[in-house]
Amino acid sequence: MNKHRMHRLRRDFYDRSTLAVAKDLLGCLLVHEVAGKTLVGRIVETEAYDGFDDRASHASRRKTPRNEVMFQEPGHAYVYLIYGMHHCLNFVTREKDYPAAVLIRALEPVAGIDVSTQGPGRLTRAMGIDRSHDRVDITRPPLYVAPRDMGEPLIDCSARIGVAYAGEWASALRRFFVKDCSWVSAPRSSRRQ
């Protein structure tokens, strides 16, 4: 796993429909080379945040210092601190000046991981990701995504988690996850919508 540098997704993968990227990331491997180790987790749950209108998106208002990278070129990380204690990892999608990103919500541990990777806050802790990774290029080491090493998984979808404030956007089916996968996060087990 560490001997050969893994093949990795290129920028054009992220320069597409945010929903397509969110689905196509499922099954891919998130890789972080840090402190002489290679941490690897399979992406099993994502959420799409796309455009100016989506009230659940940080970019729905306008460009601000925090969300500015969402308006940048695809293939970069958007990492922010939530609730004063947890980091959330997103991948920027779509062309420059169009705000969009995919939130990574859960991983299946593959290598070098010894704590839970279920949930956006837990997976950043497990992968050693924090605000120092905000804006980094995710098409090359130390942080990148390797393509699926398996067939296309069966994909299920639901409303996004924790965005009840977003009005009609709260119920949009923009959360994607591997069907029947036990590594998918289950906050408050299927909360009502």
Contact set with DNA (CB under 7 A):
47, 49, 56-59, 61-62, 64-67, 70, 78, 80-86, 88, 90, 101, 103, 116, 118-123, 160-163, 165, 185, 187-188
CB of 190 to DNA, least distance (A): 14
DSSP calls for the chain: --SSPPP---HHHHSS-HHHHHHHTTT-EEEEEETTEEEEEEEEEEEEEETTT-TTSTTSS---TTTGGGGS-SSBEEEEEETTTEEEEEEE-SSTTS-EEEEEEEEEEEES--S--BSHHHHHHHHT--GGGTT-BTEETTEEEEPPSSPPPPEEEEEPTT-GGGGGGGG-EEEEEETT-TTS--TTTT---
CB of 41 to DNA, least distance (A): 13
Closer residue to DNA (CB): 9 or 184:
184
Closer residue to DNA (CB): 39 or 70:
70
CB of 6 to DNA, least distance (A): 25
CB of 184 to DNA, least distance (A): 11
Closer residue to DNA (CB): 3 or 188:
188
